[in-house]
Amino acid sequence: MPHGWDNFLIMAGTAAATLVGLLFVAVTVGTGFSASRIVHGTRGFLTPTLVHLGSVLFQTLALLVPWPSAWPIGIILGLGGLMGLAYQTNVVVTRHKVGLALPRWQDWLPYVGLPALGSASVIVGAVGLIARKSFAPYVIAGAMALSLFAGIYGAWDLTLWMIKNRDKS
């Protein structure tokens, strides 16, 4: 990344790492649920949220490395973006299989739209880094913000799901 992005990357990485830690606290609080409820909640909310936040943490760590050229980080981010799109497809299929389909169109934006747009943006930013385009850092920063927002939304829904289902175990 060009000079001047260190503060943004450190803040994004810190936010992602902190939110991952808070998710572990939330899951610890919810250990009293029945096993089947935990499996559905994990597949529906926790794992995708951890992946979104973990991807931001990974991207920030990878971008803070002083690479000798833009090629290694461009390839790493590009492959990460492709994996993110593949994972997002898997999440949608898995949610349908376990009965956690998104009934309202408003839920598709934070659960499918933001993560998919974030992964696609990482790919565009990676290509831009390799091609030394000035837009690349902005696209990558936007992708990280989208993934953070998707993670925050997922964490919020996980919390609401745990509150709603705590008395049904």
What is the per-residue pLDDT for 112?
86
Farthest CA pair distance, the chain: 55
Instruction: Confirm whether 10 is domain-assigned.
Output: yes
Residues 58 and 17: their CA atoms lie apart, in Å, by 10
In a domain, 116, yes or no: yes
Q: How many domains are contained in the chain? A: 1
Is 155 within the bounds of a domain?
Answer: yes
Residue 69 lies in a domain: yes
pLDDT value of position 124: 98
Give the range of the structural domain holding residue 58, as residue numbers without chain letter.
6-168
pLDDT at residue number 106: 76
In a domain? residue 19? yes
Q: Is residue 1 part of a domain?
A: no
User: Measured between alpha carbons, how far is 16 from 18 in angstroms, rounded to an integer?
Assistant: 5
Tens place of pLDDT per residue across the chain (169 aa)? 667 899 999 999 999 999 999 888 877 776 666 556 556 656 667 888 999 999 999 999 999 999 999 999 999 999 999 999 999 998 888 777 766 666 677 777 888 889 999 999 999 999 999 999 999 999 999 999 999 999 998 888 878 877 776 665 5
Residues 75-95 pLDDT 10s: 999 999 999 999 999 888 877
Long-range CB contacts (within 8 A, 24+) of 81-86: 81/119, 81/120, 81/121, 81/122, 81/123, 81/126, 81/143, 82/119, 82/123, 84/51, 84/55, 84/115, 84/118, 84/119, 84/122, 85/116, 85/119, 85/120, 85/123
pTM: 0.87
